[in-house]
Each structure stands twice: as structure tokens, then as C-alpha cells.
Amino acid sequence: MLSQGLYDAILAGDAKNAEAAVHEALAAGVNPAMLIADTMIPAMDAVGKLFEEEEYFVPELLLAGRAMKAAMEPLRPLLAAAGAKPAGVILVGTVKGDLHDIGKNLVVSMLEGGGFEVHDLGADVAPEKFIAAIREHKPQIVCLSALLTVTMPAMKTTIAAIEQAGLRGEVKVLIGGAPINEQYAHEIGADGYGASANDAVSLARTFIGKAA
């Protein structure tokens, strides 16, 4: 573990100490992307397990989410600075009805770190908002995130709406989130599924490489 202090602070939902631990790790020369993969994602996984075991409840989840967000703040510009000119334009959002944005935020950060120009539409994003943003930013890729089984169908609805707007040929659609799998991506006509934020980067590279 690169930073036990950071891991513990996320688990404790302590945003102030989480951010301080990130600064400490950076000062010690730790690589930002490695810190996320080695310490922060495992901490959030542990929070998820504690929730499942009914050791943690919603308030603890929210605090852990905030600590995660605070820890991401100093890392974000560093990840972005690693890339040179944009490797492509990508829209990212959590689908309508779904407020989970921690994984989506990691996808955004890793894509920024991978050198992409990323437009983050936030959480609970209606299909019309995706469509307006596709028209505005002209991305090559749209990334959809969902964490609830009840919001998975909103991915299908979003893809259908993009199709109806006549924009399906313009973009590749990647989907992800804990309940999603390759088969579901296939079923709803998405172009790809990624299990992690790192997958989002490698898939984006593959698709944009193909498109070029």
C-alpha cells in the first residue's frame, strides 16, 4: 500500500486527512495514477464491502465519497498534465436516475490523465443532455456509467435517443459500472464495456485509433 494514511482516511470518511495524505504522498514522489489504483480504489472497494456487511450505512458512504473526491482534487491537474495535446474528445456521465459518481469521476480523471479532452456531464444525466452535449462538443466517444440495476435500462434509452437524434454514427458508446458486463453492452448495442477506469482509457485509445 502506497499510503496507509490515505486508505484509512477514505475509510474514515475524513476528507481533510485524505487530502493531506495525498499531498504527503506526492511530496514523497508517488505517481498519481499509481496512488489511485493502489490505494484509493481499494479503499473505496473496502467501503463498499463494509456497506454490504452492514457495518457502514449511507452516511458513512457519503463521507467516504467526499473523502475520495477531496483526495482526487490535487491529483486531477497532475493526471491531466501528463498528456500533451488532446488524444480525442470524450463525454462522460452517469445515466438518468443514478447519483453514483465516484467511479465515473475516476473514469474522467484517468481519461484526462490519458490525454483526452473530457467533458463531464455529472450524474443523473438525461438522454437529451447527452444529445445536446454531443452536438456541442462533437466527441468521438460517449462513456455511460450506472451503478444500480434499476438504472441500467437508462443506458439503453440513452443509446436509443442518440440513434433517434441521428448521431449514433458519430460516436462510439462505452459503458461501465459495477452491475454492467460485456453481455449487457452487446444486448443494448453499446460499442464496448470496461470493468475499470483503466479499461476506459485503453478502450478509448483503441476506438479513437480505429476512427483515425
Residues near ligand B12, by CB under 6 A:
41, 44, 47-48, 51-52, 58, 61-62, 65, 97-104, 106-107, 143-145, 147-150, 174-179, 194, 196-197, 199-200
Minimum CB separation of residue 182 from ligand B12 in Å reads 11
Closer CB to ligand B12, residue 47 or residue 121? 47
Minimum CB separation of residue 145 from ligand B12 in Å reads 3
Minimum CB separation of residue 199 from ligand B12 in Å reads 5
Closer CB to ligand B12, residue 29 or residue 167? 167
Closer CB to ligand B12, residue 65 or residue 88? 65
Q: Are 142 and 134 in contact (CB under 8 A)?
A: yes
Minimum CB separation of residue 204 from ligand B12 in Å reads 9
- Compute CA 159 distance to the chain's CA centroid, rounded to the nearest angstrom: 18
Give the Cα separation of 64 and 193 in Å (integer).
26
* Helices within the chain (DSSP H only): 4-12, 15-27, 32-35, 41-52, 58-81, 102-113, 127-137, 152-164, 182-187, 197-211
Closer CB to ligand B12, residue 29 or residue 185? 185
The DSSP bridge pattern shows strands 89-94 and 141-145 to be parallel
SS3 82: coil
Minimum CB separation of residue 30 from ligand B12 in Å reads 19
Minimum CB separation of residue 56 from ligand B12 in Å reads 8
Give the Cα separation of 118 and 212 in Å (integer).
18
**How much is the CA Rg of the chain, to the nearest whole Å?**
17
Q: What residue number has its CB nearest to ligand B12?
A: 103
What is the b/e burial string over 53-91, where b = at least 16 CB atoms within 10 angstroms of the residue's CB?
A: eeebeeebbebbbbbbebbbeebeebbbeeeeeebbbbb
Closer CB to ligand B12, residue 47 or residue 159? 47
Closer CB to ligand B12, residue 28 or residue 129? 129
